[in-house]
Amino acid sequence: MPSPTKSTPDRPAQRRQRLLHELKQKNVPAMLVTDVVNVTYLTGFSGDSSYLLLGKGVCLLISDARYTVQIEEECPGIDALIRKPNESLLKAVQQGVKQAKCNQIGFEAGTITYQHWQHLEATLDKIEWIPCDGLVETLRQVKDATEIAEIRLAVEQAERGFALIIAGLTGEMTELQVAHDLEHAMRRFGAAGVAFDPIVAVGARAALPHARPQSQCIADAPFTLIDWGARTVSGYRSDLTRLVITGKIPPKLAKVYRVVLNAQLAGIEAIRPGVRGADIDRIARSIIEKAGFGRQFGHSLGHGVGLHIHEAPRLSSTSNDELEPGMIVTVEPGIYLPGWGGVRIEDDILVTRDGCEVLTSVTKEWDEIQPK
């Protein structure tokens, strides 16, 4: 895991208090947090193979001797239970649960394995284990000032890396070379790595929404779709998609591109507090449907982004998530035509008190993306 954000040391403590409030509302006295990203979010700890036991009067980070000093540096005020070299993590959890003196404990059913859960039930048979999925993820939907600053940084790193790659793009380069060079470029500008494996898809391969880079050369078609993002040292991510024009433009491309761009702009304009994800999806999707490409837009309009590249809230036809200030979502409509290619345009959007702010700035206007 990446190192924690250090500018505001009390942020993890504030998050733990919010989680304790949620647990109290559900009459759950304590919770075992096992998802590594959620442990980082609640503690600032950047290691792995560690759980957090949190409840009234207990805040215990269960880890091992590799992280003794690291926990002291990164997690002031948090008690640590360091397991012995010959002791399993689950055995240490048993000790921690006994210290907590609780007979009911919530757990993250979506991340703990069935085998681990069976072991806990068998060894701590007097404990009632209560599924508490999504509690921490719900808290993570609304970003605080530190998190927003980190995602702005991830956007900047991604955009600077992209600009460097486009400046040196040649027809002989393969999709795979572009993807590798893009990662290196983002790292040059301070990124810890990629937010996800970049998608570089030349021509007809752009019809695959999640195409994996292969040996096709940039010169093999007049356009290339690139979907990429940076991951900061603190673990926050960005997510962008652009179409790069490299040759003579097929007439069909101009039409498809303008439909996708109009849909994206309409979706962005609809973003504001109180609006449901399904409503935003419908606004953008209706433009693509009216243009006759409804069946060629098969995924949701967007998703939250933060410590995970895909997280809540969702902008989809089934999403009842209501947007709140501080949420950051992608807006990424697309049209995919097998055998011909595809177009997707994606930006990262911050929900503000009275609307939204587009965090990404790479040009996407049709007249500006064409080669000079």
What one-character-per-residue DSSP string does 263-313 give? HHHHHHHT--TT-BHHHHHHHHHHHHHHTT-GGG--S-SEEE-SSSSSEEE
Q: Would you call the peptide bond into 313 cis, given omega within 30 degrees of 0 as the criterion?
A: yes
Mean pLDDT within 175-184? 98
Average pLDDT over every residue of 276-282: 98
- The candidate with the shortest Cα–Cα distance to 325, out of 351, 349, 305, is 351
**Among 351, 366, 350, CA closest to 152:** 350
CA distance 27 to 23: 6
Degrees to nearest 5, angle at CA 308 with 117 and 80: 50
Residue pLDDT, tens place only, 60-84: 999 999 999 999 999 988 999 999 9
With 0-12 / 13-18 / 19 or more C-beta atoms within 10 angstroms meaning exposed / middle / buried, residue 262 is: middle
Residue 3: the pLDDT is 46
User: Is pLDDT at 5 greater than 50 in this prediction?
Assistant: no
Q: Tell me: pLDDT of 226 over 90.
A: yes
pLDDT of residue 9: 52
- Whether the CA torsion 247, 158, 287, 335 is positive or negative: it is positive
Angle at 295 between CA 262 and CA 203, to 5 degrees: 70
| More confident position, 9 or 220 | 220
Q: Please give the DSSP secondary-structure letter assigned to residue 4.
A: P
| 1 and 46 Cβ atoms separated by less than 8 Å | yes
Q: Which comes out higher in pLDDT, residue 171 or 123?
A: 171
Domains of the chain: residue spans and CATH: 11-140 (3.40.350.10), 145-369 (3.90.230.10)
C-alpha pair distances (Å), 69 with each of 20, 73, 82, 101, 179: 27, 6, 11, 27, 37
pLDDT class of 149 with cuts at 50, 70, 90: very high
What pLDDT score was predicted for residue 125? 84
Tokens 């993306």: give the residue: 369
pLDDT tens by residue, 325-345: 999 999 999 999 999 999 999
Confidence of residue 2 (pLDDT cuts 50, 70, 90): very low
Is the confidence at residue 267, as pLDDT, over 80?
yes
| Kind of pairing between the strands at 104-107 and 30-33 | parallel
151-169 tens-digit pLDDT: 999 999 999 999 999 999 9
In contact, 81 and 100? CB cutoff 8 Å: no
199, β-bridge pairs: 227
Q: Are strands 199-202 and 223-228 parallel, antiparallel or unpaired?
A: antiparallel
* pLDDT on residue 4: 43
Question: The tokens of 145 are what?
Answer: 């000032």
Q: What is the DSSP letter of 233?
A: T
Indicate the range of 97-106, 129-138, 232-241, 303-312 predicted with least confidence: 97-106
pLDDT at 99: 84
